[in-house]
Amino acid sequence: MNKLLIANWKMNPDSAAEAVRLARAEDLNGVVVAPPFIFLERVKKVLRRAQLAGQDVFLSEPRAATGEISPYMLKQVGVGYVIVGHSERRRLVGETDELISKKVQAALKAGLKVVLCVGELKRDLRSKIYDLRKAKNFVKKQLIKDLKGLNLKSYGLSLIIAYEPVWAIGTGTPDNPASAAEMIKYIKKILNLRYHGLNPRVLYGGSVTAKNAAGFLRRPEIDGALVGGASLKAGEFKKIWTVSN
Ligand code: PGA
């Protein structure tokens, strides 16, 4: 099965010209490019194969929400996917599970595909694969809170989960593929049990590079990757894409 690769540029690059250059280089099948809002329209114009994502979204109501962008606005500029609940937004902007669950609902209702990010904050890196219990509990609780009140029967197919252990994001210390696969298997199992057969794609994110991508992407449980830092280097991202195909 083809893997999904999401290029999360975060608050980069500095110029529209550079965004367009990067988008051209990453315009590949199975890729979703997530530029900052301000570059969405410019990037959309040059994409032929890749899809477009927002890095965040607000709610559909109230309209009096200064500084925010609604799901319908994103759709209008050709966005198909949106990242919700990224750990950087939880940490830097103070997004709560309550707000995240509302965003997930608003975006799905508007017809966007949602990439919901979850992941534990810390892990005892000396612990073995079989001792993922604490992390699993944390992720389970986060999923339940973030999907609260959602009618997954109607929207389940548009939901994607990104498992991103926070300690692995931007640190150069990725999870190991075996334990990421185990966590992802667990996420699939609890969603399936709790939400009547819900079977979303689950990606791994956290310091994925050209060097380590194969270890993650060759695992059958891992349906793709959310790539941050390495997606800002076109050559490196292309290597990750080659592995994913
Ligand atoms: P990273 O970021 O690849 O730079 O660790 C991943 C992410 O935050 O989505």
pLDDT tens digit sequence for 6-64 = 999 999 999 999 999 999 999 999 999 999 999 999 999 999 999 999 999 999 999 99
Active site residue 196: no
Report the alpha-carbon distance of residue 227 to residue 89 in Å, rounded: 16
Residue of 26, 86, 88, 182 marked catalytic: 86
What confidence score (pLDDT) does residue 1 get? 56
Q: Both tokens of residue 122?
A: 């810390």
Task: For residue range 107-125, list pLDDT tens digits in order.
Answer: 999 999 999 999 999 887 6
**Ligand 1 atom nearest residue 170's Cα:** 5
Q: Determine whether the shortest distance from the Cβ of 228 to ligand 1 is under 6 A.
A: yes
Nearest protein CA to atom 1 of ligand 1, as residue: 228
- What pTM was estimated for this model as a whole? 0.96
The C-alpha atoms of residue 184 and residue 48 are separated, in whole angstroms, by 31
Catalytic residue among 88, 95, 164, 236: 164
pLDDT in tens, 71-97: 999 999 999 999 999 999 999 999 999
Q: Is the CB of 8 under 6 A from ligand 1?
A: yes
> What is the band of 127 on the pLDDT scale with cuts at 50, 70, 90?
low
Which among 10, 227, 233, 236 is the best mutation to test ligand 1's pocket, defined by most ligand atoms within 8 Å of the CB? 227
Ligand 1 and 206: CB distance under 6 A: yes
The confidence score (pLDDT) of residue 111 equals: 96
Q: How far apart are CA 130 and CA 89, in angstroms?
A: 30
Is any ligand 1 atom within 6 A of the Cβ of residue 170?
A: yes
Mutate to test the pocket of ligand 1, among 32, 89, 207, 217 (most ligand atoms within 8 A of CB): 207
Question: Which segments within 112-243 are labelled E, that is strand?
Answer: 113-118, 159-163, 201-205, 224-227
Would you state the pLDDT for residue 130?
A: 58
* E strand segments, 88-155: 113-118
Ligand 1 pocket test, pick from 164, 167, 211, 233 with the greatest ligand atom count within 8 Å of Cβ, gives 164
Average pLDDT, the chain: 94
How far apart are the C-alpha atoms of 120 and 166, rounded to whole Å? Answer: 6
- Give the tens place of pLDDT for each residue, 208-237: 999 999 999 999 999 999 999 999 999 999
